[in-house]
Structure 1
Amino acid sequence: MKTKTALILLTGVAMLALLGAAAQAGMIVDNFEDGDLAGWTITDIAGPTPSWNNHTTNPAGTAGQGGRQLVSYDTINANTPRGTALSPAFTIDENTLEFVMAGYGGTGSSNPQDGNIYSYANDTNQFADMNNTWILRRTSDSKVLVQGTAPFTAGFQSYRVDTGDYLGVEVELLLTDDSAGAFGWMAIDNIRTVGRDATSVLTLEIGDDQPLWALTGSTFHFDAVNISQFPDDGHAPPEGGEFIRGADSGTGTARSPDFTIVRDTIEFWSAGFGLMDRGANPQRIFLKDAGDDSVLLTWGDDEILGDDNWVSQSGDVTAWLGQDVYVELLDAESGGTGWVGIDDVRLTGVPEPATMGLFIASGAWLLRRRRAR
């Protein structure tokens, strides 16, 4: 009987290991920690060469996630080097491609964004340079599958691209810095594929949780574009038809319906603009305890970047597994450009209650076996 008990426990441990492996499935395309650009093809368009290199910091002084990164360097107030960097070919093995990117616009561009939700704002206030781009394309015929632009921020921002329709397809990532103005650069790091086993909790759609949100004040509402004065800028909601956002003027709060933490990570998309007071009249996103309304997690000035772009957010919620919570948005800035919005709130990672159930089921089976004997 001791042998059988040990076997059951070992089986439980093995199943846990498989769950953990499934949550971490995927591959590293490149993290640039080898100190070279083996497999990458660098092509210079104009200016000093090389246009792309493997550095520990970018022009803003920001280090890569692991120490090194692929950077298109500018030469301050001079002729900015311009060129492309083409990754080695790799096969899509998971439903998500992730990477982090930083950058800065040069003189701006009037190029259209073509409805691409991964693009950053391109208006007179932003100077987001549409000539700094990334493209995921099929290697067999160079067909563009997904494309976007570099962010208008020195800090690395997360990009998460749905590749579920391209499983088994060989692809390559093409980075282009064709910004002729000074200060134009972009950087990328930690390119990887990731399996996403997720539990959707808030879709923000009309036929789902949208009617259950509690709104106060005069700002929050549901919409299909995040800034009404720029409806063609490509800022459609990341998932589905609509999302929740504040208006450019007005203040208020938006509280989601309650949901239970059943996995170890919360993820969602956020966008916003304003933050001129940097904390005095803030936009905030909170995760709160449904029992006492205490704040568990906060996303604020450093996460809501103020560039009208959708950014991937996440937080560790392991400490509150099994707990009822809700999301609350705050817009306390009444100025003409301040707003915040979110979409597609989900829980990812190993489903803890199901994991516990493995041990309970194993124990129950053992007890039944003993009684039967």
Structure 2
Amino acid sequence: MRKVIGKGGRTAVTAVVLCLVAATAQGSATAVPSPAPGPGRPTTLAEVRDELDRLYHDAEVATDSYNAAEERAGKQSARVAALAEDVAAGRIALERLASRMGAAARAQYRSGGLPLDVQLLLSADPDDILDEVGRARQAQHGVDGLLREQTRVQKELRVKSAAASAQLKKLQGSRKAGADARKRIEKRIATAKVLEARLEEKERRRLLEMQKEAADETHAAYLRSGSLKDVRGKASEQGATAVAFAGEQLGKPYEWAAEGPDSYDCSGLTSQAWAAAKRPIPRTSQEQWRQLPRIGVKTMRPGDLIIYHRDASHVGMYIGGGSIIHAPRPGRNITVADAGSMYILGVVRPDQLP
């Protein structure tokens, strides 16, 4: 499902974009023409690259927030529905108890009347009267039991109603958080796309070259540090399945909040790959980093997940040979990249035994 920016969103984005530069010239030191240059605006192709990196990074952070909010909302919605069913069942139970208590009260009223000693004097068979008294006492015990049950059900109903109300507030909060994150994503992606669209073709090519050069330099630094040396772990059976799934998605487009089958975001790809391996993992890269067992970089094996950036906002799947498969960002397709092409926060292993 493609994300559509509303008319109001386009207007806000356009206003922001009009403050950005109109175009750039080739080379990292070439000035970007602007009708009204000012402080804080990108003035070189290198600054445009940095601005795009910032915008797409912010969009990815917001995407994680959106995905987390949607995941919470799904669970909370199911909980609200279950509690609503419990509350409805409790109300039906109370109605049935009220009906039974009414019947018992009517029966007691009908069997009331004369005092017991008078009934014994007037009765032709006193044993029948005594039997009736026994039955009346049993009925009274039954009424007492119904009252206790009514009190219990009423208390339980109050607790569940309060829980449903609290859960509904949480659901509303999650939906608002998701809507706010969605706005941030759409604004940043739209701003980045307009900024890119204002570049000439030769400038776009040079920008791609600069981005690749920066990634290569980062990866080379990892290689020089020895962090990625002698990483030769063999994939587990589940890891091999996850890698195979990820490989089948190569060339499909990145789309924020997408989990396939036609497009993915970074954690949508990794979570679905491990779902294919029958190993459910958290939906977002930040939760994957927080919840999954962490391992050392040198002990990596295919199928492990490399978490990138200090805020754990990106994830790729290690496939061996110093490479990953990942969904990079909007406008790019799922691809193979060097494992060290971005800052590595750490590595997690979805099938690590406890």
Query: TM-score when scaled to structure 2?
Result: 0.26
Look at both structures and tell me which one has the larger radius of gyration over its CA atoms: 2
Structure having the higher helix fraction is 2
